[in-house]
Structure 1
Amino acid sequence: MMPLISNVFNVDKNQINKQHYSNVNYDKNDSTSSTSASSLLSEINKHTMNITDSIFIHYNKTLETTIECVGSPYNQSCLYHNLYYVDSWYMILTVKGKQLPSYSIRTGAFTMVHTTPSKRVFDSYSHLERFIRTVIDPKIIPSVTLHFSQPWHDNIGHALFDGLYPAYVALIRFPPRHLHPFRILAGIDNCNTCWSEDIYSRFGGLGILKQSVLNKMSKGHWFMFEE
């Protein structure tokens, strides 16, 4: 079965201080702003997102971003390992000479513009690892995170069949992840009466995180999605 959304991806996050590193090529400028620690914790608690504490605990074999994509360019789904997020944007950390598949994606059924993460290229893996462990010290969002954008989620029909259904079909393409609890990163508008958000949270099992909330938390801070 083909997903209705041509490109849906899974991601993980870490908190990192934005700094320069001499052995890095950077494709996108970062922006910083101050956000109080208490407000960040409040946003996290409201959206039941479990992340690790300040101790860097990571279960993937590498800290480098790797990407698996399946399907034709028109109907492609991508699984990211160690995808980073800072200042409201996705970041790939990789090593010079590493070949990556085409990873531009669409995150919504009605989104015509493709999303292409920025990329930092390091001279060697040791430089990449040092940057992550000693410079940015990211906060990890563990397990699988399924990301999609969804307009009109106040209407349960749109919420299910324009958003959740095609995203879940994309997740099925990377078994057995669809059989285990996962988190939903939702690009949705604020709606205090939309019970579809509770359906999203219960269906995934690990809760829902609004992308607008993540954007506020990521100002000057790095996150990393394990998957």
Structure 2
Amino acid sequence: MFNNKTKSISSTSIKTLLLQINKHTLNFTDSKFNNHNTTLETTIQCVGSLNNRSCLYHNLYYVDGSFMVLAVKGKRLPLYSVRTDAFVRTPTTPRKLVFDSYSHLEKFIRISIRPRIFSSVTLYFSQLWHYNIGHAIFDGLYPAYVALIRFSPKHLHPFRILAGLNDCNNCWSEDVYSRFGGLEILKRSVLNKMPREKWFMFEEIDFVLLLLKLE
């Protein structure tokens, strides 16, 4: 009886999380990526020196808690490790899955994984202590937005914020994030609670370097 109740709660929780995800995403068949003339390979544009870098990914994938670059063998990519947290020195480096040809990559995406699509621009960063509005703005939102400006004019249009945040039931800074971006906020923890091997694709996602000047 206890196990059945636990399973029921778990099932309800997953349904709630899926509702949150579905607000942000499209089915693969409903998106422009169902058009065979549209590339599905990950491409990356980075600006700035190694210690001051921001990267804009097109078609960045996400599964089982990890960002994934899907590329064709022989394709040259820039160095794309970026710090996404002002207080964590270890950079974020998406994993890479390499295919022998574009047709193999396309078949894998269209037939095997059929990801849900996050359309429009997504701005990604991690944030400690976001319950404090000062930290929330000046350690997270402000440097992230400045990085997005480097890919002008994308900062002039509504964008989604994907944030690595701790759980907080009454943090009004999350409402500030949503209103500022215009396309609401999505916590990375929600993606991480999805069933295993559930794939997502970000149409455009900006990874930003967050720096603190320590006196």
Q: Which TM-score band (shorter chain)?
A: 0.7 to 0.9
* TM-score where L is the length of structure 2: 0.84
Q: Which has the higher helix share?
A: 2
- Stretches of structure 1 that go unaligned for 5 or more consecutive residues are 1-34
**In 1, are the aligned partners of 2:71 and 2:96 still within 8 Å (CA)?**
yes
1:156 equivalenced with 2:133 (yes/no): yes
Task: Using the TM superposition, give the Cα deviation of residue 113 of structure 1 relative to its aligned residue in structure 2, in angstroms.
Answer: 0.6
Task: Using the TM superposition, give the Cα deviation of residue 48 of structure 1 relative to its aligned residue in structure 2, in angstroms.
Answer: 7.7
Matches within 5 A, 1:11-22: none
Q: 1:41 to 1:143 in 2, by over 3 A?
A: farther
* TM-score where L is the length of structure 1: 0.80
Question: Which of the pair has more CA radius of gyration?
Answer: 2
Structure 2 distance, partners of 1:93, 1:111, is 26
Which position in structure 1 is the counterpart of 2:57? 80
Identify which range, 49-58 or 37-46, moves more after superposition: 37-46
**In 1, are the aligned partners of 2:28 and 2:116 still within 8 Å (CA)?**
yes
Correspondent of 1:196 among 149, 173, 187:
173
1:62 equivalenced with 2:62 (yes/no): no
**Cα deviations by residue, 1:21-69 (Å, 9 ceiling, x for unpaired):** xxxxxxxxxxxxxx97754441244478421135252359310000000
Q: Using CA pairs below 8 Å that are at least 6 residues apart, which structure has the higher relative contact order?
A: 1
**In 2, are the aligned partners of 1:181 and 1:206 still within 8 Å (CA)?**
yes
Structure 1 distance, partners of 2:14, 2:64, is 14
Q: 1:112 to 1:129 in 2, by over 3 A?
A: same
- % identical equivalent positions: 65
Task: Using the TM superposition, give the Cα deviation of residue 82 of structure 1 relative to its aligned residue in structure 2, in angstroms.
Answer: 0.2
Which position in structure 2 is the counterpart of 1:140? 117
Number of residue equivalences: 193
Which position in structure 2 is the counterpart of 1:209? 186
Which position in structure 2 is the counterpart of 1:52? 26
Q: Secondary structure at the match of 1:141?
A: strand
**In 2, are the aligned partners of 1:48 and 1:208 still within 8 Å (CA)?**
no
Structure 2 distance, partners of 1:37, 1:143, is 30
Q: Secondary structure at the match of 2:171?
A: coil
Which position in structure 1 is the counterpart of 2:106? 129
**In 1, are the aligned partners of 2:60 and 2:203 still within 8 Å (CA)?**
yes
Q: 1:129 to 1:37 in 2, by over 3 A?
A: farther
Which position in structure 2 is the counterpart of 1:14? none
The one-letter code of the counterpart of 2:146 is V
Task: Using the TM superposition, give the Cα deviation of residue 72 of structure 1 relative to its aligned residue in structure 2, in angstroms.
Answer: 0.5
